[in-house]
């Protein structure tokens, strides 16, 4: 197969980074990205893009750690280069605080982020309701800059990108040799995955440029993440809610909770409310599958279900998906040479 | 009781506020007048980035370390107040970088979360093999000085835009005490060979992705003669010049290039930062801060001067401790003049 034609469906952080990895591992591939939405209208654009992993219950920890490590290393190198500001990648330090000391004081990722240590008594005085905390430095992927930077890198490799609503993966079988499914929440409908469920998140993006530190409550519900131009205030984790409409009461709640951790946010300006549906699953689906109809086969590589942890593991899962695409190509080449006999 | 304050930088304004806060209730006749030829945004304090950080060495001045601590604790206590944003006060973390191991600084237990850098962190800064990470405070002059000015105006303090040529000029006509916060120009009021300019130049840029301060140190070339990057609420300050004895307040193209090149080497992403403006200022450098009383003869009258100048490149860092000390000297002065029956303190 001289130039395998690969379609990547989905243009969120997973779709774009997977497409980019495929161009890197398989330079002879012709890659096309198809999506009904592009930045700034993807779920990824709502996320703060903080590299603080979510733990998937059914994915082995060593695999999650490997994904996070690859992602962190990749972004660390970009943040250290002249491209950092264009790519929207920057370091940010801060605190994760707990009202009650957690069972697991050392999360699996503590040796991957920078300078991880327990908070001192003096630091905890800032948070009278909280008994324990962790201080560390991590990375943030600001969107849309990161998404636009990925798109630019893709265009430079000759990758085409089209706005197109794919109703059924099979519809691509005549135009493409391999399909990569990075549709996030869309996979619920597209491939009928009932294990995939939304976890609704509402956030506020505000102008508060004096906030230089992140603060996250270990319960995951309240967080303050300073980005390049805006600070993301969160949030909610509403399992099973499909609503994309901002809720005014929720906005008030988020603002109040964040102000109680960082009172200076009372002076925040230009409050913008956004909603995203985290495409959640007990384990991320990075897997090969072969669709067949009437003797015709279509290899598919799935890469979706990253829930709350998309940014944290995106490059690691993209690498894995790209390797699965390589396997698909080998399988196709093997079967085509068999067909010649 | 009339008090004339000379200087409207961070020292003049904060000392005036401190004295007024502590004594106006006890001395009903207290009137404060503030004289300066430069007001915000044209003072030396306005050019400072506003980062709370003392020099690496306390030069044997333990009193200064205490004043630094008082200032940090005072500001930390105000972090959650509604005034914090208006004051230009916020937390910021960052890096101090060295090419060799150095002893911990006097302020390691004053700041929050002080620790050494890990090997991974040092990968971010090629050429540097040792360093510290800590969380400190920013107090931006462009916000703090106007805030202080507003507090003083509310309290009825009068401001006079005037270049004061002598203590006598302000202390005649019923002024009992002069508070000398004239910073770099103190030598014009009373010769002081120990006070010398430590000229600094900075470049203000837009680099909103930067969330940490980075201060490099070259132990051979001395304090502030090595690149530093300090992100503020709007602008990021690039610097790294300290020229002892240089009185020029003009921007130097050579210094600009040196600062720009060395900061971009430190942080390649800065090449994409938009340059806004350059600024030069004279740090009022002295082997130690001059904070003391002096009796001055004015014809056949006696006047009292409280000196509070010579804070070099750590004015913001030390200001409140010095303001409190100046207020204490004022209190002892009042006691001597029997203006106060008892010193301020808990009532029995």
Do the chains contact at A264 and B231, CB–CB below 8 Å? no
- Cα gap B265→B242, rounded to integer Å: 19
The token pair at B224 is 């502030």
pLDDT band at B340 (very low <50, low <70, confident <90, very high): low
CA distance B3 to chain A (A): 35
Do the chains contact at A209 and B233, CB–CB below 8 Å? yes
Q: Would an 8 Å CB–CB cutoff place B37 in contact with chain A?
A: no
pLDDT confidence of residue B252: 98
- Cα gap A99→A112, rounded to integer Å: 24
If we measure between CA atoms, which residue out of B262, B269, B268, B274 comes closest to residue B234? B274
- Cα gap A70→A75, rounded to integer Å: 9
pLDDT confidence of residue B344: 62
**pLDDT by residue (tens digit) across A236-287?**
999 999 999 999 999 999 999 999 999 999 999 999 999 999 999 999 999 9
pLDDT confidence of residue A333: 85
Of A80, A114, A263, the CB nearest to B80: A263
- Cα gap A39→A43, rounded to integer Å: 9
CATH, domain B1-50+141-193+288-347, list 3.40.50.300, 3.40.50.720, 3.30.70.580, 3.30.1370.100: 3.40.50.720
**pLDDT by residue (tens digit) across A56-93?**
999 999 999 999 999 999 999 999 999 999 999 999 99
Which CATH class for the A5-339 domain? alpha beta
Q: Given a cut of 70, is residue B134 above it in pLDDT?
A: yes
DSSP H helix total and E strand total for chain A: 9, 15
If we measure between CA atoms, which residue out of B139, B262, B250 comes closest to residue B199? B250
* pLDDT average, residue stretch B136-144: 97
Does ipTM exceed 0.90?
A: yes
Q: Please provide the average confidence, as pLDDT, over all residues in chain A.
A: 96
**pLDDT by residue (tens digit) across A8-29?**
999 999 999 999 999 999 999 9
pLDDT confidence of residue A183: 98
**pLDDT by residue (tens digit) across B258-280?**
999 999 999 999 999 999 999 99
- Cα gap A17→A23, rounded to integer Å: 10
Backbone angles phi, psi at A132, to 5 degrees: -145, 155
- Cα gap B257→A339, rounded to integer Å: 67
If we measure between CA atoms, which residue out of B168, B163, B172, B180 comes closest to residue B15? B180
CA distance B92 to chain A (A): 6
Provide CB contacts within 8 A for B346, sequence distance 6+: none
pLDDT band at B303 (very low <50, low <70, confident <90, very high): confident
- Cα gap B319→B87, rounded to integer Å: 14
Which residues of chain A does B268 touch, with a Cβ-Cβ cutoff of 8 Å?
80-82, 84
pLDDT: which is higher, B170 or B36: B36
Are B37 and B64 a contacting pair, CB within 8 Å?
Answer: no
- Cα gap B212→B230, rounded to integer Å: 7
pLDDT confidence of residue B329: 97
- Cα gap B118→A45, rounded to integer Å: 32
Which residues of chain A does B269 touch, with a Cβ-Cβ cutoff of 8 Å?
79, 81-85
**pLDDT by residue (tens digit) across B227-251?**
999 999 999 999 999 999 999 999 9
Are B122 and B129 a contacting pair, CB within 8 Å?
Answer: yes
If we measure between CA atoms, which residue out of A104, A103, A98 comes closest to residue A131? A98
Q: Give the 3-state secondary structure of residue A214.
A: strand
Q: Given a cut of 60, is residue B62 above it in pLDDT?
A: yes
Which residues of chain B does A137 touch, with a Cβ-Cβ cutoff of 8 Å?
93, 121, 133
Are A251 and A273 a contacting pair, CB within 8 Å?
Answer: yes
* pLDDT average, residue stretch B79-104: 97
Number of cross-chain residue pairs from A and B with Cβ atoms under 8 Å apart: 97
Do the chains contact at A212 and B268, CB–CB below 8 Å? no
* pLDDT average, residue stretch A178-204: 97
pLDDT confidence of residue B348: 45
CA of residue A35 relative to chain centroid, distance: 16
Which residues of chain B does A115 touch, with a Cβ-Cβ cutoff of 8 Å?
115, 117-118, 121, 133
pLDDT band at A341 (very low <50, low <70, confident <90, very high): very low
- Cα gap B104→B108, rounded to integer Å: 7
pLDDT confidence of residue A339: 60
∠ CA A173-A177-A181, rounded to 5°: 75
Do the chains contact at B80 and A212, CB–CB below 8 Å? no
Which residues of chain A does B209 touch, with a Cβ-Cβ cutoff of 8 Å?
84-85, 88, 90, 142, 228
- Cα gap B159→B333, rounded to integer Å: 23
Question: What's the DSSP call for residue A101?
Answer: -
What residues does each domain of chain A span?
5-339
Strands B175-180 and B2-6: parallel
Do the chains contact at B91 and A119, CB–CB below 8 Å? no
pLDDT confidence of residue A130: 98
What residues does each domain of chain B span?
1-50+141-193+288-347
**pLDDT by residue (tens digit) across B197-227?**
999 999 999 999 999 999 999 988 888 899 9
Q: H helices within A32-134, ranges in order?
A: 43-46, 61-79, 84-87, 121-124
């Amino acid at each position: 197969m001289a130039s395998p034609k690969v379609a990547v469906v989905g243009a969120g952080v997973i779709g774009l980074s997977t497409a980019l990895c495929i161009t890197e591992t398989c330079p002879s591939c012709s890659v096309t990205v198809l999506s009904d939405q592009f930045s700034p209208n993807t779920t990824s654009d709502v996320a703060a893009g903080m590299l603080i992993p979510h733990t998937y219950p059914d994915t082995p920890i060593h695999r999650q750690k490997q994904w996070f490590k690859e992602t962190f290393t990749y972004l660390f190198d970009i943040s250290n280069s002249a491209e950092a500001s264009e790519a929207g990648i920057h370091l940010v330090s801060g605190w994760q605080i707990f009202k009650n000391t957690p069972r697991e004081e050392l999360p699996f990722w503590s040796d991957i982020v920078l300078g991880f240590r327990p908070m001192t008594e003096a630091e905890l005085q800032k948070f009278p309701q909280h008994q324990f905390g962790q201080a560390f430095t991590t990375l943030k992927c600001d969107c849309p800059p990161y998404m636009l930077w990925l798109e630019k890198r893709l265009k430079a490799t000759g990758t085409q990108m089209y706005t197109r609503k794919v109703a059924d993966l099979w519809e691509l079988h005549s135009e493409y040799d391999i399909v990569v499914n990075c549709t996030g929440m869309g996979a619920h409908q597209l491939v009928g995955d009932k294990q995939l469920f939304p976890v609704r998140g509402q956030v506020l993006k505000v102008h508060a440029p004096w906030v230089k530190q992140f603060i996250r409550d270990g319960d995951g519900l309240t967080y303050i993440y300073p980005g390049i131009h805006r600070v993301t205030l969160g949030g909610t984790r509403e399992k099973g809610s499909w609503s994309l409409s901002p809720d005014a009461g929720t906005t008030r709640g988020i603002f109040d909770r964040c102000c109680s951790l960082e009172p200076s946010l009372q002076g925040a300006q230009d409050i913008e409310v956004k909603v995203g549906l985290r495409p959640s699953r007990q384990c991320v689906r990075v897997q090969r599958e072969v669709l067949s109809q009437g003797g015709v086969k279509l290899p598919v590589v799935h890469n979706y279900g990253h829930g709350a942890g998309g940014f944290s593991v995106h490059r690691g899962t993209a690498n894995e998906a790209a390797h699965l695409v390589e396997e698909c190509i080998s399988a196709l080449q093997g079967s085509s040479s068999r067909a010649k006999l | 009781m009339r008090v004339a304050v000379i200087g409207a930088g961070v020292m003049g304004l904060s000392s005036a506020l401190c004295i007024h806060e502590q004594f106006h209730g006890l001395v009903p006749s207290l009137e404060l007048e503030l004289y300066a030829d430069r007001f915000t945004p044209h003072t030396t304090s306005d050019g400072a980035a506003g980062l709370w950080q003392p020099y690496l060495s306390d030069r044997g001045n333990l009193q200064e370390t205490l004043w630094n601590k008082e200032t940090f604790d005072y500001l930390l206590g105000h972090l959650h107040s509604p005034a914090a944003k208006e004051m230009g006060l916020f937390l910021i973390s960052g890096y101090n970088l060295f090419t060799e191991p150095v002893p911990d600084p006097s302020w390691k237990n004053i700041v929050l979360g002080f620790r050494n850098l890990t090997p991974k962190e040092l990968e971010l800064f090629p050429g540097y093999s040792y360093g510290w990470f800590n969380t400190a405070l920013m107090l931006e002059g462009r916000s703090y000085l106007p805030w202080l000015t507003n507090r003083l105006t509310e309290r009825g303090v009068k401001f006079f835009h005037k270049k004061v040529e002598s203590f006598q000029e302000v202390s005649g006509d019923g002024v009992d005490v002069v508070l000398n916060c004239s910073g770099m120009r103190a030598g014009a009021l009373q010769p002081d060979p120990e006070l010398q300019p430590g000229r600094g130049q900075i470049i203000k840029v837009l680099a909103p992705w930067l969330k940490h301060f980075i201060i490099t140190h070259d132990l051979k070339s001395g304090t502030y003669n090595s690149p530093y990057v300090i992100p503020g609420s709007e602008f990021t300050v690039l610097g790294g010049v300290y020229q002892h004895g240089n009185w020029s307040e003009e921007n130097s193209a050579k210094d600009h290039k040196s600062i720009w090149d060395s900061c971009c080497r430190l942080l390649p992403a800065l090449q994409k930062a938009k340059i806004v403006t350059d600024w030069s200022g004279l740090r009022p450098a002295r082997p130690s801060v001059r904070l003391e009383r002096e009796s001055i003869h004015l014809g056949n009258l006696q006047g009292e001067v409280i000196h509070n100048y010579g804070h070099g490149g750590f004015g913001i860092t030390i200001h409140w401790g010095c303001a409190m000390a100046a207020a204490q000297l004022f209190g002892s002065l009042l006691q001597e003049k029997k203006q106060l029956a008892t010193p301020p303190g808990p009532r029995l």
